[in-house]
Amino acid sequence: MSNVNLRGRRILYVGGRNRTTHVRRVIEEHGARFAYHDGGMEQSIDRLGRMVRQADVVLFPVEYVSHSALHKLKAVCRSLDKPYVPLRHPGLDTLATALSTLSL
């Protein structure tokens, strides 16, 4: 369990390889609400914009997001002034570290 409490903020996690059960657990352990988009693998990239609008911050493992989803994601985040955090490694330790550094 983390000492950081994100106080119910909505974290949108984009990408990954169906490891969302573990990702959800880590995000919720930090006191945040979990939302997920697969990064364009099966879900529509058009849906990504709506999901970013509803999020407080977006996290994504860079190796598991399509190039088109990555470009759209960054553009939407910038236009909405939403913070986003690219994760250089897809591991849960990297995710936990990123969450512990958020100040929302």
**Total-model pTM:** 0.89
Give pLDDT tens digits for 83-103: 999 999 888 999 999 999 886
Confidence of residue 4 (pLDDT cuts 50, 70, 90): low
Give pLDDT tens digits for 28-87: 999 999 999 988 777 777 888 899 999 999 999 988 887 887 888 899 999 999 999 999
What pLDDT does residue 10 have? Answer: 96
H or E, element range at 36: strand 33-37
- 52 sits in the region (left: phi over 0; alpha: psi -120 to 50; else beta) called alpha
